[in-house]
């Protein structure tokens, strides 16, 4: 069995924009000695050569700041006419399933991924999409992950392509770039330029009418075959949250 990590490392990156900043405080072993002493254990009763324990505190990290799974509640308060699921309410059965990679790395920046692109890939590779699979969209933009232009770069899923995947029985899908849609600054610029109120966040907003979850900021999809592996995508169980940081892995037998 081989396990491939599809998650980015959680760390402070000075190139991240303010809304993605992560701040972690690392506490050395020696500081724990004083905590133990305050609990009442005399220094003379410390184990021989005991250095104390290391500890760390995440001082700042948004649930969307690193590799994460977006819950239906992220897109809108309701989905399919019911209260949208928060991340702690997403069924675990959705999160461990056979995976399939759609290679969309040929798509140019700001060029949306269409239904035709997905269907053409399946036909060209002689692959079958089965209900319940976890779909991974490979764009190759994870190579920009620690750069200041990461969130400004990439292709993105169209609303129609997202709907098509859901209609094939797909509940969990993910992408190896900053966001599921076309890059946020580009969408804002185009919406203002065209005066089109339907352009912004169109793929995310599919979740208002059709329940699904997507992962963002995946890595290492180029290390996977197109099929023949399982995906485990379990997010942190945060009560009432719109998303959860996740350690997403692919398991190859």
CB-based burial of residue 120 (10 Å sphere; 0-12 exposed, 13-18 middle, 19+ buried)?
exposed
d(CA 136, CA 221): 8
Q: What are the sequence ranges of the domains in the chain? A: 23-60, 68-252
Q: What is the CATH code of the structural domain delimited by 68-252?
A: 3.50.30.50
Alpha-carbon span 229 to 96, nearest angstrom: 11
- 236, with CB counted inside 10 A (0-12, 13-18, 19+), is middle
Split the chain (253 residues) into runs of 10 and give each run's mean pLDDT: 97 91 91 75 81 88 96 98 98 98 98 98 98 98 94 97 98 98 94 88 96 98 98 98 98 94
Q: What angle do CA 146, 237, 63 make, to 5 degrees?
A: 30
């Amino acid at each position: 069995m081989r396990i491939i990590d599809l998650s980015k490392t959680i760390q402070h990156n000075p190139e991240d924009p303010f809304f993605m900043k992560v701040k972690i405080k690392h506490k050395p072993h020696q500081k724990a000695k004083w905590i133990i002493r305050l609990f009442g254990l005399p220094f003379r009763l410390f184990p021989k050569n005991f250095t104390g324990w290391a500890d760390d505190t995440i001082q700042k990290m948004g649930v969307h700041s690193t590799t994460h799974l977006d819950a239906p509640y992220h897109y809108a308060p309701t989905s399919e006419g019911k209260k949208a699921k928060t991340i702690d309410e997403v069924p675990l059965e959705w999160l461990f399933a056979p995976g399939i990679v759609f290679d969309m790395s040929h798509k140019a920046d700001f060029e949306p991924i269409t239904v035709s692109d997905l269907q053409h890939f399946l036909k060209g590779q002689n692959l079958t999409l089965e209900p319940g699979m976890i779909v991974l969209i490979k764009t190759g933009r994870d190579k920009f992950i620690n750069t200041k232009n990461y969130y400004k770069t990439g292709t993105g899923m169209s609303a129609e392509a997202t709907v098509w995947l859901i209609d094939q029985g797909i509940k969990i899908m993910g992408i190896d770039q900053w966001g599921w849609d076309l890059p946020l600054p580009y969408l804002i610029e185009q919406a203002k330029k065209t005066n089109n109120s339907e352009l912004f966040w169109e793929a995310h907003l599919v979740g208002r009418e059709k329940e699904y979850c997507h992962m963002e900021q995946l890595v290492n999809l180029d290390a996977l075959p197109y099929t023949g592996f399982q995906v485990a995508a379990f997010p942190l169980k945060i009560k009432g949250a719109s998303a959860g940081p996740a350690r997403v892995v692919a398991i190859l037998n």
